[in-house]
Structure 1
Amino acid sequence: MFSRFGSRVTVIHNGNQIVPREDPEVAAELQRALESEGIKFLFDARTTRAEKRGNAVVLTIEHSGATSTVSGSHLLIATGRRPNTEDLALDKAGVETNKDGTVKVNSRLETNVPGIWALGDVKGGPAFTHISYSDFQIVYANLIEGKDLTIDKRIVPYCVFTDPQLGGVGMTEKEARAKGFKLKVGKVPMSYVARARERDETAGLMKLIVDATSDRILGATVLSSDGGETVHILYTLMLADQPYTLLKGAVYIHPTLAEGLFFLMDDVKPVAEQEIPQQKTA
């Protein structure tokens, strides 16, 4: 957003890729899209000093074995959030918290004190508004309706609202490998999709992670315009616990972004049991 308003933007990150949870090629594709808009990235960089010099903010950083400075008119620090549960004096009610301040809950979202529940960001886990909505549904069902719903098998979709959007659900390839799954993987660039070409929005890709034994979807990524919308199709198939082949050969409306699933399903094939390549960084 700031770059499109005309600002020169430099992102300083102490890790080796953006969106660190994602597979390296997904992160690299998003990085290329953002760099095409003039955004600069510095990876494996450590900020050692921040100071005000006149109207500028100056950062001293260690990067690539050298010390340098980056200056700008504004500084945005994105270091995450932590719950302010210390203000609630939960210990007086006997409610336990984790070391990071989040409230301890069981799979039903009930604390260690019967009748006290926690939902949303304060309980830890994925910090998404839609997770808070889902938490509410579970707590309401358990507390008011006397049901026994849990979060144990909840599948969590998400979206990073960059441009292109990064829509995802389930496991990444590296996570699935770490869990020992034998995999099939499909991947297609958005340049294959007619709708993306018509809109001149071909940055991005679609990726599907499949359990080779059952053909069930383990995870999916849609990095594209409206990727957060398209990924819901794959999420629905996961909810239904149906094999990915249900969508193979389906008729997709032309021209739509969802038509890319036609190519994605055709690309799914077994992959060698080896580590996925790591992203090279500057």
Structure 2
Amino acid sequence: MSAKFDASVSAPQDAFERKRLAAVGPESWNNPEPSGPYQLVIVGAGSAGLAAADAAAALGVRVALIERHLIGGTCFNTGCVPSKALLRTATVYAEMREALRYGARAPATVEVDFAAAMTRLRRIRSHLTHSTSVRQLVASGVDVYFGNTRFEGADRLSVNGQPLRFDKALLATGARPQIPDIPGLKQAGFLTNATVFDLAELPPRLLVIGGGPLGCELAQAFGRFGAKVTIVQDMPLFLPHEERDAAQTLSEAFARDGIEVRLNTGVVAVRVEGEEKVVELVTDDYHSTIRVDAILTGVGRRPNVHGLALEAAGVNHDELAGVTVDDHLCSSNPRIFAAGDVCLDKKFTDIAEESARIAVRNALLGGRERLSERVVPWCTYTDPEIAHVGLYVREANARGIPIKTFTIPMHQIDRAITDSEQDGFVKLHVSEGSDRLLGATIVSRDAGDMISQVTLAMVAGVGLRTLAKVIHAYPTKTEAIREAAMAYNRTRLSTRLLERIRRRLGR
């Protein structure tokens, strides 16, 4: 039996939290009185909504931004920012335990201070309110409203009953955690990304339901803090959208961190016995149970469309897929556009922000920009990180596109060797018979930064022949990208050409 743990006990609302909440959701806020129709009304002030407000304000239009809860949405308050702060501290603890790997003396014992890590998280989140606050939005010319939104017609809505009219509107309400329908789960209590960063103490034993990016990132973080972590995934693999060798590399990293991964496993029931949560599992018809102190659900996100009365505005939508939009991000109502998690399958901050900027230009300037024309990378911030841009091999095959792949293992790269970070690879996909980049996957501790070079090359139409000419500072891990490009160049040396070169050099 582990020491008593109570997941319902939240970390104290210290000065950092008070500063954050005052900046992104002030209790004393009074909504403005509209003097007429807005040229643009944005519903939702998360990553997409803030990017849209910034773009619209720069154009000098009358813009209103409506938020139901807190400015910054999931990414700032309960997603990217707090998770990456926590992951960084967890990595420090992992490096302390593995000091011998770097030629240093490991401490006799590594004492984890989870409360200090959470305080650092809150301090960082509070500091970043300088770029995410109500008052900054107002200073840029945006009218900010707090409250519940309901559409009353094709060109009007209400905020807490207060009517607003608009020429154009943008739906950017984001998404919320999807809760699995498991008997006993709600009664036993569980964590989501919306609550996990409020923990006051580390759960000794943690079950993570779902092997997607969120589940994998937090599983590794909590495992490195010292929790006994089990990931349960009802599929034969985790990170199902990534390359199989990428997921395998991460699987090996999880094993070193002591994380247990159970694939092809479903959670069929949860019950409480004393201070423990007893979880019943089924793996290929084999029944088993595990006892944990906390359960984290990470099985995906569901778009926030409920309660908006979108029917009144003539906006087609679905509870699971979200708002239906075309490639220009316009809904079935030509006045109303959508951006971010509420309408997109890929729910990443960078895609949300870019889709919002496209939607604003199309809505206000009559643009015809297409989201499908954008080259958008994403990254799972485990250790090693897994970053991707463009097509996967399976996608190219499904489209009938002949593809050739060039792979450089990180253990061939000098800087990866000197850093003792040899796990992973750089994999570049090109259209067969040419050097045109179609996609890439990078697995490395620095993959999220490294993928930007490939993304830039794809946007600029730079092929592998040109990438092979790019000189990198030595030693850096990005040399792996040039090595992959040079591997392509070597394939261009046909047997006949090589023979001609040898004859010439032999003169």
Q: What is the TM-score when the length of structure 1 is the normalising length?
A: 0.90
List runs of 5+ in structure 1 lacking aligned partners: 271-282
Trace 1:4-23 onto structure 2 (pairs within 5 A): 4-23=224-243
Letter of the aligned partner of 2:392 in structure 1? T
- Any idea what the Cα deviations from partners look like across 1:31-58, whole Å, max 9, x if unmatched? 1112111111111111111111222212
Match of 1:86 in 2: 306
Aligned to 1:219: 439
What are the Cα deviations for residues 141-170 of structure 1, in whole angstroms up to 9, with x where unaligned?
A: 122333221213222210101111111101
Unaligned runs of 5+ in 2: 1-220, 492-507
317, 321, 324: which one pairs with 1:97? 317
- Displacement over 6 Å in runs of 4+: none
Q: Paired residue for 2:411?
A: 191
Alignment of 1:196-275 (within 5 A): 196-268=416-488
SS at match of 2:224: coil
Structure index of larger Rg: 2
Matched, 1:54 2:270: no
Percentage of identical aligned residues? 31
| 1:67-124: CA deviation from partner (whole Å, max 9, x where unpaired) | 1112211111112111231210100111111352511111111111121111111112
2-structure distance, mates of 1:169, 1:181 = 17
SS of the residue 1:188 aligns to: strand
Change (3 A) 1:177 1:68: same
Amino acid at match of 1:227: A
Aligned-residue offset at 1:64: 4.0
Are the equivalent residues in 1 in contact too, given 2:377–2:390 (CA < 8 A)? Answer: yes
* Higher alpha-carbon deviation: 259-268 or 162-171: 259-268
Q: Does 1:66 align with 2:282?
A: no
Q: CA RMSD in A?
A: 1.7
Supply the distance in 2 between the matched residues of 1:53 and 1:260 (Cα, whole angstroms): 52
- How many angstroms does 1:178 deviate by? 2.1
- In the alignment, the residues of structure 2 paired with residue 146 and residue 254 of structure 1 have an alpha-carbon distance, to the nearest angstrom, of 47
Question: Is the 1:84–1:101 contact (alpha carbons within 8 Å) kept by the matching residues of 2?
Answer: no
User: What aligned pairs does 1:102-121 form with structure 2 within 5 A after superposition?
Assistant: 102-121=322-341
1:158 aligns with 2:400: no
* Cα distance in 1, alignment partners of residues 383 and 228 from structure 2: 17
Residues 3-52 of structure 1, C-alpha deviations (whole Å, 9 max, x = no match): 11101111110111121111211111111112111111111111111111
User: As a proportion of its length, which structure holds more helix?
Assistant: 2
Amino acid at match of 1:69: T
Shift of 1:266: 3.3
Aligned 8 A contact 1:86 1:101 in 2:
no
> What SS does the corresponding residue of 2:438 show, helix, strand or coil?
strand
Post-superposition offset of 1:184: 1.3
Give the Cα–Cα distance (whole angstroms) in 2 for the partners of residues 209 and 101 of structure 1: 30
**Matched residue count:** 270
Counterpart of 2:136 in structure 1 is none
Preserved contact between residue 60 and residue 68 of structure 1 (Cα < 8 Å) = yes
Q: C-alpha separation between the residues in 1 aligned to 2:314 and 2:285?
A: 49
